[in-house]
Chain A
Amino acid sequence: MRELSVSTITDTVAGMCEEANIYLGEDVSGALKRSLEIEESPTGQEVLKQLIDNLDIAKNEQIPICQDTGFAVFFVELGQEVHLSGGTLEEAINAGVKKGYTEGYLRKSIVKDPLYERKNTGDNTPAVIYTDIVPGDKVKISFAPKGGGSENMSAVKMLKPADGEEGLVDFVVNHVKAAGPNPCPPIVVGVGIGGTFDRVAVQAKKALFRPVGEPHPDSRYAGLEKKILSKINDLGVGPQGFGGRVFALAVHIETFPSHIASMAAAVNINCHACRHLEKVI
Chain B
Amino acid sequence: MEPKKITAPLSDEDVLSLKAGDNVLISGVIYTARDAAHKKLIELMDQAEPLPIDLQGQIIYYVGPTPAKPGQVIGSAGPTTSGRMDAYTPKMLENGMKACIGKGLRNQAVKDALQEHKGLYLAAVGGAGALLSKKIKKCEVVAYPELGAEAIHRLEVEDFPATVINDAFGSDLYAEGAKAYAR
Interface residues of chain A, those whose CB is within 8 Å of chain B, are 40-43, 46-47, 50-51, 53-55, 57-58, 61-69, 105-109, 120, 147-149, 152, 180-182, 184, 234-238, 240-245, 271-273
Task: Say whether, besides A43-B23, A67-B77, A243-B177, A184 and B127 are in contact (CB < 8 Å).
Answer: yes
Closest 9 CB pairs between A and B?
A243-B177, A236-B181, A236-B182, A184-B126, A182-B104, A58-B130, A54-B131, A64-B76, A67-B76
**Interchain CB contact under 8 A, B63 and A67:** yes
B131 surroundings in chain A (CB, below 8 A): 50, 53-54, 57
How far does the alpha carbon of A62 sit from the alpha carbon of B130 in the complex, in Å? 9
The 6 listed contacts between A and B (C-beta, < 8 Å) are A64-B66, A65-B127, A68-B80, A107-B149, A184-B103, A237-B181
How far does the alpha carbon of A243 sit from the alpha carbon of B1 in the complex, in Å? 15
A42 surroundings in chain B (CB, below 8 A): 1
How far does the alpha carbon of A182 sit from the alpha carbon of B80 in the complex, in Å? 9
How far does the alpha carbon of A76 sit from the alpha carbon of B32 in the complex, in Å? 38
Confirm or deny: B107 has a beta carbon within 8 angstroms of a beta carbon on chain A: no
B-side interface size class: 35 or more
Q: Which of B68, B78, B148, B179 sits near A120, CB closer than 8 Å? A: B148
Task: Say whether, besides A61-B130, A67-B76, A182-B83, A41 and B181 are in contact (CB < 8 Å).
Answer: yes
Which one of A43, A64, A69, A245 has the highest number of Cβ atoms from chain B below 10 Å of its Cβ? A64
**Interchain CB contact under 8 A, B163 and A43:** yes
Task: Say whether, besides A42-B1, A66-B76, A67-B64, A244 and B129 are in contact (CB < 8 Å).
Answer: no
Q: Which of A58, A63, A109, A272 sits near B72, CB closer than 8 Å? A: A63
